Amino acid sequence: MARVNEPFEGVIMYRRDYRERDLLVKILTDRRGPLMFFIRGAKRKGFKLASDILPFTYGSYVGILADEGLSYIVSAQETHHLTGIGADLNRNAYATYLLELVDQAFEEGRALGGWYKQVMAALNLINTGRDPQVVVNVLEVQLLNRFGIAPVWDRCVVCGRSDLPLDYSEKMGGMLCLHHFAEDPYRFHLTPKTVAYLRLFATLNLAKVDQVHVDEATKRQLGRTLDKIYDDQLGLRLKSKRFINEMDSWTNRLLTARKNPGTDDEKKPAGS
């Protein structure tokens, strides 16, 4: 294939050391999905593209894009930093997980279509301080289709009704209505609010979202529901997701300790 310079939009997903002075940088590109770029001399002092390839940077680049093997950046036209993500541990953790998930969901060399805008909208919402868990939950729901699991969120998988209370069933691959709860004794027992959010998330265009407010109890159930689906139905266990779960458990321990000074240890159940 001819090696021609192509303009593209991209966001830096992660970087990896390569030889003494060089870097491998994974970039999510609009035109060819996630691609690995070889950046020669990237660790040299005064490298001209240094700020264009920092983590959580996005913008317009020109490069040689290879569907297989390594791609190259020729120049950066205009790039921006998502500084609100870089500076905050919690946002950083969720954005890192989101990009790892996207990396798993898309093949190298294929155009992303509308997904690129959706991922950028998610990163911008996280960057500006919207609840990162909820933003990521939206993409988790939508990316299930990319992973070959396409749960039916908006109606009962047995009878098609959408006007009755619904609950999620892994076994049936989607929602069951009140009349068909008996089809799966292991249905999730979700609250109506959680069901409503899952239905909403399945088709939500994040570019049109401004505010994000989900109450804590519903957020917990949404998080647990999606973790379970990703674990059970997909078997996907990403390092960045494990980090988030550990971070949540430190935070909870810290909050408990603050609320009940001195009683934290006694309150732990035996064997934990």
Contacts with Zn ion, residue ranges (CB under 5 A): 156, 158-159, 177, 179-180
φ, ψ dihedrals at 221, nearest 5°:
-70, -40
- Structure-token match 């609950």, residue found: 167
For residue 137, the minimal CB distance to Zn ion (Å) is: 25
The residue among 171 and 179 lying less far from Zn ion, judged by its C-beta, is 179
Question: Parallel, antiparallel, or unpaired: how do β-strands 72-81 and 152-156 relate?
Answer: unpaired
The residue among 187 and 241 lying less far from Zn ion, judged by its C-beta, is 187
For residue 182, the minimal CB distance to Zn ion (Å) is: 10
Question: Parallel, antiparallel, or unpaired: how do β-strands 174-177 and 72-81 relate?
Answer: unpaired
Cα–Cα distance, 29 to 10 (Å, whole number): 4
Question: Parallel, antiparallel, or unpaired: how do β-strands 152-156 and 174-177 relate?
Answer: parallel
Residue closest to 70 by CA, chosen among 128, 16, 24: 24
The residue among 39 and 156 lying less far from Zn ion, judged by its C-beta, is 156
For residue 141, the minimal CB distance to Zn ion (Å) is: 21
For residue 181, the minimal CB distance to Zn ion (Å) is: 9
For residue 42, the minimal CB distance to Zn ion (Å) is: 56
Tokens of 139: 């993409």
Are the C-beta atoms of residues 81 and 59 closer than 8 Å to each other?
A: no
Residue nearest to Zn ion (CB): 156
For residue 177, the minimal CB distance to Zn ion (Å) is: 3
Tokens of 272: 């934990």
Alpha helices in the chain (DSSP H): 83-86, 89-105, 115-127, 132-143, 192-201, 216-229, 239-259, 264-267
Are the C-beta atoms of residues 228 and 90 closer than 8 Å to each other?
A: no
The residue among 182 and 270 lying less far from Zn ion, judged by its C-beta, is 182
The residue among 106 and 168 lying less far from Zn ion, judged by its C-beta, is 168
The residue among 23 and 177 lying less far from Zn ion, judged by its C-beta, is 177
The residue among 134 and 156 lying less far from Zn ion, judged by its C-beta, is 156
For residue 145, the minimal CB distance to Zn ion (Å) is: 22
